Structure 1
Amino acid sequence: MTLPLDYETLRLIWWALIGVLLIGFALTDGFDLGAMALLPFVAKNDLERRMVINTVSATWEGNQVWFILGGGAIFAAWPYVYAVSFSGFYLAMFLVLAALILRPVGFKYRSKRPDPAWRARWDWALFTGGLVPALVFGVAVGNVLLGAPFRLDGDLRASYEGSLLGLFTPFSLLTGVLSVAMLVTHGAGWLAMKLEPGPVQHRARQIGAGAAVATLVLFAAGGAYVAWGGLGFRMADVVDTGGPSNPHLARAIAAPGAWLDNYGAHPWLMAAPLLGLFGPLVALAGLRIRRDALAFAGSTLAAAGIIATVGLSMFPFILPSAIDPASSLTVWNASSSHLTLFIMLVVVLIFLPIVLAYTTWAYRVMFGRVGAEEVRLNPDMY
């Protein structure tokens, strides 16, 4: 059977689509996580906390689906990556899922009782459900850049030789804090745009401005560490980009500084890190001059640029191995079959425009500022 697209092209398309899904998750569920991480700091009483919670009440469930969609796409398009990462990072994934489970329970149960202690406990659950995933996702990215401690035997069975505490290295903690700062900036931009003028909106702008500066500084520091700290992997053998998926067919090696190779070969790729530096500046300016839509646009650009920088720096690697570089998983050796990728692409081309159109319509219908009076009187509010 001859397919309209060759294997190499389909692999590239799916690598790009996975990147789009990850950016989509950061841009949508990211402001939910950031807003909840800000909850104890911008809201000082029950009414203010309800205002913050209700800025995301209409959209958080749909936004969370991006996370599920991303995991499902990795499972279908890159099964080796899914098998190694979701089993090797099992405890970290469990920590993220446990935190994410707190969010829907907190949203639904918080206002069931008027007891202040009851509500305070659920407020901390919502805070944990926002902060922990943002931190762990960033730590995971740091570990991917460093290389994960796994190896594949001759039968392609993976063995993971790391631990949960081993994931928290100085560099991965830097990327974890960067992730928190990035999403807090995004959440602050969302709160500034969704809340009616008042003290909560003012606090969100102030904290968001500080988070935007932290995002800029941490991203620059992370880039300097990658450039001068000697991180990177490189293929040692000629790769058959249209060949079968088998990590043993071409060896990879650890190569200090190799994460900068793609920028030297294709200078236009520098647009991604420049966007990651420019976005926080736009967000900071928007928050300072009270142009809330500009602030949210800046945090959006920052998240997209930072995530794209990671993917473009690592290409063609998806999950390198720190202890056995020859076991590293790449775009070329870890994908599903040619036919599988083609069928998935057809499905995406049919349904993704429908999903995006519905999402756009839903945001437009449910958009509007949240105020104290509305929260106090509307029985449908959390």
Structure 2
Amino acid sequence: MHTLIDYEILRLIWWLFLGVLLIGFAVMDGFDLGVAALLPFVARTDVERRVAINSIGPVWEGNQVWLILGAGAIFAAWPAIYAAAFSGFYIALFLVLATLILRPVGFEFRNKLANPRWRAFWDWALFASGLVPSLVFGVAFGNLLQGVPFRIDGALRVAYEGGGLFELLNPFGLLAGLVSLVMLTTHGALYLALKTEGRVRDRARAYVRVGAPVMVALFALAGLWVAFGIPGYALTKAAVMDGPSNPLFKEAARQPGAWLANYTAYPWMVAAPAVGLLAPLAAWRLSARDRPGTAFIASGLGIAGVIGTAGVSMFPFLMPSNLDPSASLTVWDASSSQNTLFVMLVATLIFLPIVLAYTGFVFRTLRGTISPADVERQTNSLY
């Protein structure tokens, strides 16, 4: 089957699509995770917690589509990444899955009984369902930047040689996890400021005043650590951009400062870290001026800047190996076949606009705020 697009271009398009899907997940499902992680702190009574829960209750399932799309894209477009990641990060991803399962269960069961202990248990379950994924996703990115301990043999079989979950919880991995956690909880707080009334909204705005500058400081610290403390990866023998997906056809090495090389070669890429630093500060300022809608948009741009910074810094690497740098997986040697990428591209161009249109319709239909009086009038509602 002959495609209309060169293999090299298809691989680049799917690298961009992967970034778009990760950003979409972080922006859309990120505020759900952030609200859940903030639940014990912004809502102190049962009515206040119902206000917070009802702000995300009608939309969280639709937002989780972005997680499914992202995982599906990795599985179909980057099977080598899928195999290596789910082997190396198995325990961490299992932990994420276990806590994400708590979210629908918590929504379904919390309001079934009026018993305070029953509801408190599910409130903490919802808290865990927001805290753990927000932290672990950042830890995973932190470990990608440092390199993952795997090898690839002549039969292209991936052998992970890491030590498990606690090895991932290294100092830089934990810093990246904190960046993710504070970023998503601030995003969630801005959503609460936009969608709720009363004390929940007031506490959410108070969190933004602290969370946004702390997130910027942590992101800047992580950037300095990457620049001066973590060797990057560079190709020493160029990969064949339109050749077969065989990581062993290239050569690569760890080099100090290599993660900064793209900013010298392509100065426009500095826009990503600039947005990652400036947009959260803009959100902080807009929130202080009581403009929650534009503050929420600015927060989303900041998330895009942070994820984009990781992507453009590492390009063309997707999953570097710290045991055998030449076995690292890159955009040019870890993808599916040209035909597969083309068929998936056609399907994506058809269905992604439908997802976007549906998402826009839902949020427009459910626009408005939720007050304590609203949930008190609806004692028999699901949430």
> TM class, shorter-chain normalised?
over 0.9
Q: TM-score, normalised by structure 1?
A: 0.98
Letter matched to residue 69 of structure 1: L
Q: Residue 375 of structure 1 contacts residue 381 of structure 1 at CA under 8 Å; is this kept in 2?
A: no
Tell me by how many angstroms 1:381 deviates.
4.7
Deviates more, 1:332-341 or 1:199-208: 199-208
Structure 2 CA distance, aligned partners of 1:182 and 1:110? 27
> What is aligned with 1:185?
186
> What is aligned with 1:200?
200
Q: What secondary structure does 1:244 align onto?
A: coil
> What is aligned with 2:273?
273
Structure 1 CA distance, aligned partners of 2:209 and 2:382? 29
Structure 2 CA distance, aligned partners of 1:131 and 1:106? 14
Q: Residue 190 of structure 2 contacts residue 287 of structure 2 at CA under 8 Å; is this kept in 1?
A: yes
> What is aligned with 1:302?
302
> What is aligned with 2:362?
362
Structure 1 CA distance, aligned partners of 2:205 and 2:354? 34
Matching of residues 324-339 of structure 1 within 5 Å: 324-339=324-339
Q: How many residues align?
A: 381
Structure 2 CA distance, aligned partners of 1:85 and 1:339? 24
Deviates more, 1:62-71 or 1:32-41: 62-71
Q: What secondary structure does 2:237 align onto?
A: coil
Runs of 4+ with >3 A deviation:
none
Letter matched to residue 193 of structure 1: L
Spell out, residue by residue over 1:264-307, the C-alpha distance to the aligned partner (whole angstroms, 9 max, x if none).
00111111100000111011112222211122122111101000
Structure 2 CA distance, aligned partners of 1:114 and 1:201? 24
Structure 2 CA distance, aligned partners of 1:68 and 1:47? 32
Structure 2 CA distance, aligned partners of 1:358 and 1:317? 34
Letter matched to residue 168 of structure 1: L
Q: Residue 185 of structure 1 contacts residue 283 of structure 1 at CA under 8 Å; is this kept in 2?
A: no
RMSD: 0.9
Q: What secondary structure does 1:253 align onto?
A: strand
Q: Residue 185 of structure 1 contacts residue 209 of structure 1 at CA under 8 Å; is this kept in 2?
A: no
Spell out, residue by residue over 1:317-354, the C-alpha distance to the aligned partner (whole angstroms, 9 max, x if none).
00000111111000001000000000000111111111
Matched, 1:167 2:174: no
Q: TM-score, normalised by structure 2?
A: 0.98
Tell me by how many angstroms 1:231 deviates.
2.6
Letter matched to residue 315 of structure 1: F
Q: Residue 233 of structure 2 contacts residue 253 of structure 2 at CA under 8 Å; is this kept in 1?
A: yes
Tell me by how many angstroms 1:180 deviates.
0.4
Structure 1 CA distance, aligned partners of 2:215 and 2:110? 31
Structure 1 CA distance, aligned partners of 2:289 and 2:120? 33
Tell me by how many angstroms 1:380 deviates.
3.0
Structure 1 CA distance, aligned partners of 2:78 and 2:256? 26
Identity of aligned residues (%): 57
Letter matched to residue 64 of structure 2: Q
Structure 2 CA distance, aligned partners of 1:87 and 1:31? 28
> What is aligned with 2:177?
176
> What is aligned with 2:137?
137
| Unaligned residue ranges in structure 2 (runs of 5+) | none
Q: Residue 81 of structure 1 contacts residue 318 of structure 1 at CA under 8 Å; is this kept in 2?
A: yes
